[in-house]
Structures are given as C-alpha cells and as structure tokens.
Chains A and B, each alone.
Chain A
C-alpha cells in the first residue's frame, strides 16, 4: 500500500512527558501537512512543508510543538511537556505541489493523562 502512514496509531502519555509522532507521506509527494482534530471539530491546520522547508506554521503550534522533515521525505511532530489539552487526533496529509489534493493518513490518537 502506498498511502500515507502514521505511527504510532495510539499514544497514551502522562502530563509533562514528551511525545513524537511520525508520518510517511506518499513517496512522490513534495508537500506534507500536519493537522490536529478534536471531537466534533474539523481538522485544524498546524504546519506544512514543501520538501524539507517548513513554510507555514499556525499560531496553534506553540513553542512546545516542533515539526521536522529532514530529507523531504518522512516528517516528525514532537510535543514537549504534554498537557491534557493536547489530547487529540493528529493527522498528516501529503500532496503534489501542482494538484492541491491532500491524501490523509489514519492519524495518531494522543491521550494525555
């Protein structure tokens, strides 16, 4: 299967711990996006990359959040000093620069106790 994959699918952590999520986009896609989705809401934009460059970040992405895409392929999203309000589904999507059609992964569900 050549779709977008995300790992882990579920993460339970204690408040104050750091967590890191990984996203593997469709191989030829040069754009990669991170979103956060809470119950009853649509996906909220966090950040996006074109190749390895992080081109835009939402104000939602506080200084506890950092994202990287070191070689323009997979990406990681790290949350430091997690808070209960960080509990959500974290979605990754990828697209080709010319098409504007995003393909989403299954998401990583984070629960902060």
Chain B
C-alpha cells in the first residue's frame, strides 16, 4: 500500500535562512511525487513534481525538491526563506506503474517563516 509521512507538524525558520520540509514515502513500484502548498482560505496549489529523470526538481516560487530513492525521501527545500512562504505544505505520492490515479497525501507541515 502507498503511504506518505511528513514527520514534522511545524517547521520554523528565520527569513533569509534555508528551509527544508521533510517527506518520506512508501510505494511498491516507481513513485510519482508531488508537493502542494495551501495558503489560508485558498485551495491547494501545485509546487513541483518528480516523475523521472534528474533527482533535483525545481518548481514554483524558488522551491526545489530532491528525490532520494535509497532513503525513499522527497524533501522540499528553498535556499532563502521569505515570510510569504508561511503556509501549509503537503507531500503526495502515487504509484506510477500500476496505472492507479489514487494519490496519497501526507498530513501536512506548517511552515512559519519569522521576520
């Protein structure tokens, strides 16, 4: 069965510092991995995805994520955090080969960037 874990409920970081939001996954085949962000009173917005190819994926708003197959991780990173990055971040996975389009989301990590 597919699963996603976001081990931190909240991450605090000072503005200008690098940030990391962690995600680990479990699938039986090749993983398709995604990050979404949710701002208050707004719908989820797509940030980036890994399907195949380069393990470092670049996405919207300066975010990037690194796919690590041996550690089954897909951590979200940004070199320099902005106060406006404060939001709820969700990692998601689906099993790529079986043809299922059932996406499994993590429980979310709240990012707070402090001025």
Chain A residues within 8 Å of B, Cβ to Cβ: 4, 31, 33, 35, 40-45, 48, 50, 55-56, 58, 91, 93, 100-107
For this complex, 10 residue pairs linking A to B, each with C-beta atoms less than 8 Å apart, are: A33-B101, A42-B4, A42-B92, A43-B90, A45-B102, A45-B104, A48-B101, A100-B32, A104-B45, A106-B42
Q: Please tell me if the beta carbons of A33 and B103 are within 8 angstroms of each other in the complex.
A: yes
Shortest Cβ distance from residue B8 to the other chain A in the assembled complex, whole angstroms? 14
Chain B residues within 8 Å of A, Cβ to Cβ: 4, 32, 34, 36, 42-46, 49, 51, 90, 92, 94, 100-108
The count of A-to-B residue pairs whose CB atoms sit within 8 angstroms is 56
Q: Please tell me if the beta carbons of A41 and B103 are within 8 angstroms of each other in the complex.
A: no
Q: Which residue of A lies closest to B4 (CB)?
A: A42
Q: Please tell me if the beta carbons of B107 and A56 are within 8 angstroms of each other in the complex.
A: no
- One of A100, A103, A105 near B51 (C-beta < 8 A): A100
Q: Please tell me if the beta carbons of A48 and B44 are within 8 angstroms of each other in the complex.
A: no
